[in-house]
């Protein structure tokens, strides 16, 4: 089981939940989806999971910051997806959203397996 931020639930489950939440505009359905997800968690897993759902990977009382620049994210996405910079720029121009552009790039990516962030790129 893959852990994220000390949580024993697979990160994919959280990502799948986020996809389902994005796909519906029904408030009641969103409440049911989140409630069902949270019920599966241990008590010490709820807080970090809720933080992730709120888009805060670091708790708000922490003095830590991610300090990830746009350039770093851009390079990382291109590298992991093995995409051309122009492909990412076009996807971002079309969607206007970093997450949606990233999803678009990965869906059309030449890379079909999960990547590791610190993995060395293949020789060109």
**67-82 residue pLDDT tens:** 677 788 888 888 888 8
Q: What local confidence, expressed as pLDDT, does residue 60 receive?
A: 67
Q: Is the pLDDT of residue 123 over 60?
A: yes
Q: Is the pLDDT of residue 103 over 80?
A: yes
Listed range (40-49, 101-110, 115-124) with the worst mean pLDDT: 115-124
**6-58 residue pLDDT tens:** 445 577 788 889 889 989 899 899 999 998 998 888 777 787 788 788 777 77
* Domain layout of the chain by residue ranges: 11-53, 68-124
How is 17-80 classified by DSSP, letter by letter? HHHHHHH---HHHHHHHHHHHHHTS-HHHHHHHHHHHTT-SS-TT--------HHHHHHHHHHH
Q: What local confidence, expressed as pLDDT, does residue 1 receive?
A: 45
């Amino acid at each position: 089981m893959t852990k994220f931020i000390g949580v024993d639930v697979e990160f994919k489950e959280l990502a799948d939940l986020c996809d389902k939440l994005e796909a519906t505009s029904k408030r009641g359905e969103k409440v049911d989806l989140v409630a069902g997800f949270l019920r599966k968690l241990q008590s010490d897993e709820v807080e970090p999971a809720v933080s992730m759902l709120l888009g805060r990977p670091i708790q708000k009382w922490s003095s830590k910051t991610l300090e990830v620049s746009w350039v770093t994210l851009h390079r990382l996405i291109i590298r992991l997806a093995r995409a051309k910079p122009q492909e990412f720029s076009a996807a971002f121009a079309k969607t206007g959203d970093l997450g949606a552009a990233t999803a678009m790039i990965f869906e059309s990516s030449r890379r079909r397996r999960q990547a590791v962030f610190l993995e060395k790129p293949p020789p060109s």
